[in-house]
Each structure stands twice: as structure tokens, then as C-alpha cells.
């Protein structure tokens, strides 16, 4: 653990769809700004921001599909569900007119890593309900406010943002 109250190697990745409505675009910008502020203040060690498409064919290899497979493995390991936020449905190609199964990705998604190990994905669903991107951010902020001197208590962050119960 470093002296600033964070655990060394904790990073958060924000994924956002490439084409967003004005409202969703503003939300993405707010989330990105809040993550950058948390990183600058030392409450998380690093932030990465990625774009992804709305949907990807299930029969084609892609960065988004590989990421989803990693997220799915995490969800299975901890006993949560990525549905309905990540969904599979029949889609039609505007280019070819062909239909096929596609993975539809959420508008915004956060992945929390510690020392290169995936700790949590937001949004997800537990037996107690859904956990949103904003829930993750509120939990990080809440852990920071509860800690002595305003620094993030890494154990509280783990309990609030990284530990998933079902």
C-alpha cells in the first residue's frame, strides 16, 4: 500500500459506446471527470478510458468480445450476472442485410483491477439487485470520506466497490 491511502496497482477502466445521445455523452463525461479526479487525488492509482461499439457479432473475434469473456468469467466466479446490461440478441446488418447473433454492450461500464487482476465489473446484478456504474463511483467516494484524513481506506473500498455479495 502506498502512503496516499490507495493500494498500489489499482486501476479503473471506463468503457463507453462510441455513439451516444447528448444525455449519455454528458454522463460519460461526468464519469470520466470523476474518475480522473479520484486518480489525481490518489484514491485510485490509474484510469483508462476506452470506446466500444454498441454491438458485436458473436461469430467474429473482437476486442469487445474478448473483454466480455473476461467479464463473464469474473461474474461466474463471484456469483453475479452481467445481464441484462450485456445482452445477446438477433441483429440485422445494415450493410449486408444478413442476420446473426450479436452481443449488445452497455452504454457505460467500469472494470476495477488490482495488480492486473479483475476485481469487479459495473454494471452487474446480484441477488439483492443491480449495481450500477454510479454505485461504484459512490462507493469509492464514500470509502474516501469515511477514512481518517479524507484518504481512501483500501479495505473500505474493497468492501464497497470490489466485494460482491449475492
End-to-end CA distance of the chain: 28
Distances, alpha carbon 65 to alpha carbons 2, 5, 36, 71, in Å: 34, 34, 26, 10
Is the model's pTM score more than 0.75? yes
In angstroms, the CA 19 to CA 33 distance is: 19
List pLDDT tens digits, range 132-144. 999 999 888 776 6
DSSP H or E segment with residue 51: strand 46-52
List pLDDT tens digits, range 49-78. 999 999 999 988 999 999 999 999 999 999
Amino acid at each position: 500500500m502506498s502512503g496516499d491511502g490507495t493500494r498500489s496497482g489499482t486501476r479503473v477502466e471506463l468503457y463507453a459506446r462510441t455513439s451516444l445521445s447528448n444525455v449519455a455523452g454528458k454522463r460519460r463525461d461526468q464519469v470520466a471527470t470523476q474518475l480522473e479526479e479520484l486518480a489525481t487525488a490518489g484514491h485510485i492509482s490509474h484510469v483508462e478510458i476506452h470506446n466500444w461499439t454498441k454491438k458485436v457479432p458473436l461469430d467474429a473475434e473482437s476486442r469487445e468480445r474478448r473483454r466480455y469473456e473476461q467479464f463473464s468469467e469474473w461474474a461466474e466466479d463471484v456469483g453475479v450476472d452481467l445481464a441484462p446490461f450485456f445482452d445477446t440478441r438477433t441483429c440485422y446488418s445494415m450493410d449486408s442485410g444478413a442476420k446473426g447473433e450479436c452481443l449488445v454492450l452497455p452504454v457505460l461500464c467500469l472494470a476495477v483491477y488490482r495488480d492486473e487482476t479483475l476485481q469487479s465489473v459495473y454494471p452487474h446484478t446480484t441477488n439483492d439487485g443491480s449495481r450500477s456504474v454510479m454505485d461504484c463511483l459512490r462507493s469509492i467516494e464514500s470509502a474516501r470520506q469515511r477514512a481518517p484524513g479524507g484518504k481512501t481506506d483500501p479495505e473500505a473500498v474493497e468492501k464497497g466497490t470490489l466485494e460482491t455479495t449475492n
